[in-house]
């Protein structure tokens, strides 16, 4: 397995790194970032995964998420993967649309040609990258949390729901809560998985809750000034489903906030503190 350090910078007494490796899951080179806070020699630290949204790479949250001070104070490793495979031979949307293909992997294992060869983001996030983090960083893989934004919020919710016990806490900013019921999701799941909507349920948090999956706890922040709220995100579907099945959740509708990293960075430290309480509980 190849593992390359692209860059490392000191920040808040820890190290912000960017790394590259060849992925067996996607068949491509993949780049990700990791922040390791200051810690005693030999100490292992809990891990928080951050899954990014449409059009993003690892760089968006790394550069704009304002998480390092909180991670340094709380003793959290922060991992930010890419959102899709990239490189020569990786198929993209025919019209180069932003909501499918490169930058829009939707954290699924594609089954429809030609995307099934490389678009294996579920395997990459759930299996391959955790092994790399465990091998190269002082990570306590018994204490993992997961969070994400928009498409990445969808990823965090569904990955956690499908893997009971793996993540001690789950949170999201502006998640796509039900890809079965929004244009982004219908395009992505139809393109990656085909027309059988029954196969889509494994990638829909509302459907997973309806089918019996549960989380220990859930925190969601959604901006009320988000242009995508009514047409794509449909937070009310998650609120209603959590209430219907008794899923414990704090879903906060935040007046004045939009879909941007101005919103995410405002509440990032609160989310990390919430995760730290559960990771150290």
Question: For the whole prediction, is pTM greater than 0.95?
Answer: yes
- The set of catalytic residues is 150, 226, 259
User: For the chain, how big is the Rg over CA atoms in Å?
Assistant: 18
For 149, residues 6+ apart whose C-beta sits below 8 A from its C-beta are 50, 51, 52, 53, 61, 172, 173, 174, 175, 264
Q: For position 77, what pLDDT does the model report?
A: 98
Q: How far apart are CA 15 and CA 10, in angstroms?
A: 5
Tokens of 85: 């495979």
pLDDT tens across the length of the chain (281 residues): 689 999 999 999 999 999 999 999 999 999 999 999 999 999 999 999 999 999 999 999 999 999 999 999 999 999 999 999 999 999 999 888 999 999 999 999 999 999 999 999 999 999 999 999 999 999 999 999 999 999 999 999 999 999 999 999 999 999 999 999 999 999 999 999 999 999 999 999 999 999 999 999 999 999 999 999 999 999 999 999 999 999 999 999 999 999 999 999 999 999 999 999 999 98
Q: For position 204, what pLDDT does the model report?
A: 98
Q: For position 94, what pLDDT does the model report?
A: 86
DSSP 198: G
Tell me whether residue 124 is exposed, middle or buried, using C-beta atoms within 10 angstroms of its C-beta: 0 to 12, 13 to 18, 19 or more: buried
- C-alpha distances out from residue 196 to 29, 112, 200, 201, 208, Å: 31, 11, 7, 10, 16
Q: For position 216, what pLDDT does the model report?
A: 95
Q: Which residue segments constitute the domains of the chain, with CATH numbers given?
A: 4-280 (3.40.50.1820)
Q: Per DSSP, what are the bridge partners of residue 80?
A: 33
Q: Which of 244, 246, 220 is nearest to 234 (CA)?
A: 220
């Amino acid at each position: 397995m190849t593992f390359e350090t692209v860059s490392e910078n000191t920040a808040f007494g820890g190290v912000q790194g960017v790394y590259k490796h060849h992925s067996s899951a996607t068949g491509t080179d993949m780049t990700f970032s990791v922040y390791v806070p200051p810690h005693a020699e030999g100490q292992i630290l809990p891990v928080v995964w951050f899954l990014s949204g449409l059009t993003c790479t690892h760089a968006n949250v790394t550069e704009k998420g304002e998480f390092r001070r909180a991670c340094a104070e709380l003793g959290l490793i922060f991992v930010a993967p890419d959102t899709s495979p990239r490189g020569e031979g990786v198929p993209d949307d025919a019209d180069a649309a932003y909501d499918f293909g490169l930058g829009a992997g939707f954290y699924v294992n594609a089954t429809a040609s030609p995307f099934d060869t490389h678009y294996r983001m579920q395997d990459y996030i759930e299996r391959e990258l955790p092994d790399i983090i465990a091998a190269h960083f002082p990570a306590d893989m018994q204490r993992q949390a997961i969070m994400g934004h928009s498409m990445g919020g969808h990823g965090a919710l569904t990955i956690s729901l499908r893997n009971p016990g793996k993540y001690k806490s789950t949170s999201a900013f502006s998640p796509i809560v039900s890809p079965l019921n929004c244009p982004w999701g219908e395009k992505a799941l139809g393109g990656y998985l085909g027309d059988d909507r029954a196969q889509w349920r494994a990638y829909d948090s509302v459907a997973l809750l309806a089918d019996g999956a549960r989380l220990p706890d859930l925190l969601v922040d959604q901006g009320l000034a988000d242009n995508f709220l009514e047409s794509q995100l449909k937070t009310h579907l998650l609120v209603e489903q959590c209430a219907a099945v008794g899923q414990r959740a704090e879903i906060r509708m935040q007046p004045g906030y939009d879909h941007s990293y101005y919103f995410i960075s405002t509440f990032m430290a609160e989310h990390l503190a919430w995760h730290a309480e559960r990771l150290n509980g």
